[in-house]
Structures are given as C-alpha cells and as structure tokens.
Amino acid sequence: MMRRVAAATAVCGVLGALAIAPPAWAAPTTEIIEGRYVQLVSVADWERAADLAPGETMRWDVEISADAPEPGMIEIAVSATGGTPLVVDAALCLDAWRGDECPSDAETLLSDWEVPRDGAQVPLREVDAEQVAHLRLQVGVGSGSASGVTEMRVHANGAGDELDTGPDLPPTGGWSSEPWLLAGGALLLVGAAVLLAVRARRRTGGGAS
C-alpha cells in the first residue's frame, strides 16, 4: 500500500515539474518547393509557431530563386485566411543573411503590418529573375479576438510558375502567454485525483495487497 502512495506522490511531483518547465523549441525545418523554373526554400520553426502568444514573434525565412530561360521578373506576395490576426515585419536581402545582418543592406517591406485575411495576394516586391531574394518575416499574433486557424502563405509568381509555401497557425491569440502552464495544470489535477483516490482506498481498506 505504501508503494502505491509513494508512486502517486512521485507522479504529482513530476507533473508539478512539467507545470513550471518552459517548452523546448524544435529546430527550424526546411521545405523546398520547386516549379518548372522557380524555387522556394522555406525555413522556420513551426513548432514554435504553434505556441505563439500575443507579443511573441517567430522568424520565417524564404529564399526565392529562378532558373528562367528568358529575362523577367518574379513577384513576391503574401496572403492569409482565418480568424486569428497576424502582425508581420518583412525585409528583403539580395544576399544570404549572415545572422541578423544583410551584407547588401536589407530593404524593409513591411513594419508592424496586420495581414489581411481575405485570401487575396498582397504584392510585396518584384525582383529580377536572375537575382536570389532572401525574404525574412517576423510573424506574431496580433491583438484582438482569435477564432479558428489562420493560414499565411508566401507566393512567388513569374517565369510561368505560381508557387507558394506556408503553414497553418493555430488561434493562440487570447490564450495564456505561457500555454504550457495550461497543460501542466491539467496534468496536476489528474495527479492530485490519483493521490486522493489512493488515500480513499487506504481508509476503506480496499487497496491492501
């Protein structure tokens, strides 16, 4: 009987530790989308995106390149649909980013901009198809109510291709700024219920072995 009580107490201790431990963000993932001539390389930590709360942001890098047979332009655009407001900063570098620095000076495209969620593509910039564009987005959850999933996408249109990339972002707006506390608190309640049940069985003698 004592072994069972000790086990239940240990469970509560572990659950309590889970309730105060912050989540470990996963490493960024890379997705490559290829058309006939245009290629997108998307890099972001989508696990972090799933836990964003108002005031927090996550970085999303998209490299746009083309191997077009003729000179032309590639249009870069963004779109979104859903019920959760998203606020975006965007900058473009025509060289690969070195950490937070752009060797050729970054061009600011958006600053604290709430993305329209009507599904329409909003053009950001046109680049020469012979250039490699490195788009950097800082995406955050905006203030206000959240309802349902918001899907945001980056588009590259040109050289006969129309490509896009992007994840589903959950409705984190209005939730706790530390969402792991909610899950940890629920687990604590389960652990406490287990302990109370064991004690009740002890009092009635139903748990002897």
pLDDT at 204: 52
Highest mean pLDDT among 44-58, 63-77, 190-204: 63-77
Higher-pLDDT residue of 165, 54: 165
141 inside domain: yes
Does residue 156 have a pLDDT over 80? yes
pLDDT at 103: 95
* Confidence band, pLDDT 50/70/90 cuts, at residue 4: very low
Q: Which of 26-35, 44-53, 140-149, 182-191 has the least mean pLDDT?
A: 182-191
Model pTM score: 0.69
Same-domain check for residues 132 and 160? yes
Higher-pLDDT residue of 41, 180: 41
Does residue 95 have a pLDDT over 80? yes
209 inside domain: no
Same-domain check for residues 70 and 158? yes
pLDDT at 147: 72
Does residue 40 have a pLDDT over 70? yes
Same-domain check for residues 6 and 48? no
3-state secondary structure the chain: CHHHHHHHHHHHHHHHHHHHCCCCCCCCEEEEEECCCEEEEEEECHHHHCCCCCCCEEEEEEEEEECCCCCCEEEEEEEEECCCCEEEEEEEECCCCECCECCCCCEEEEEEEECCCECCCEEEEEEECCCCEEEEEEEEECCCCCCCCEEEEEEEEECCEEEEECCEECCCCCCCCCHHHHHHHHHHHHHHHHHHHHHHHHHHCCCCC
Same-domain check for residues 157 and 185? no
Host domain of residue 110:
29-175
Output the average pLDDT for the chain: 75
Higher-pLDDT residue of 39, 199: 39
Domain count, the chain: 2
